[in-house]
């Protein structure tokens, strides 16, 4: 079981690196923000699996909850900021 979680962490790390292409290459600023949000969402899952690997699940669940709140607040705040401007293509 422990070995399965270790391999699962490696696979998740590979999956997290894919949207970074969109963050670097994105044509508009919205694409970059979307890629950053996707990376944050997948990082939440990675933190949970790391908690299972280290056998300290009680601590890492709280970290995951705080991370989810921060990710959501950041996305909504930047969307609010970008929606009130004109012509940022």
* Interface with other proteins (CB under 8 A): 1, 4, 8, 11-12, 15-16, 18-19, 21-22, 28, 30-31, 33-35, 37-38, 41-42, 44-45, 48, 52, 57-58, 61-62, 64-65, 68-69, 71-72, 75-76, 79-80, 82-89
Q: What minimum distance in Å lies between the beta carbon of 54 and other proteins?
A: 14
Least gap, CB of 42 to other proteins (angstroms) = 6
Q: How many CA atoms lie within 13 A of 20 on its CB side?
A: 7
CA distances (Å), 69 to each of 3, 20, 84, 88, in order?
30, 21, 23, 27
Of the candidates 43, 42, 47, the residue with the CA atom closest to the CA atom of residue 61? 47
């Amino acid at each position: 079981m422990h070995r399965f979680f270790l391999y699962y962490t490696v696979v998740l790390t590979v999956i997290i690196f894919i949207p970074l292409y969109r963050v670097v290459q994105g044509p508009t600023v919205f694409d970059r923000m979307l890629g950053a949000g996707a990376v944050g969402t997948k990082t939440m899952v990675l933190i949970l699996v790391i908690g299972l690997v280290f056998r300290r699940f009680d601590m890492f669940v709280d970290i995951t909850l705080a991370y989810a709140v921060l990710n959501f607040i950041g996305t909504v705040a930047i969307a609010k900021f970008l929606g009130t401007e004109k012509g940022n293509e």
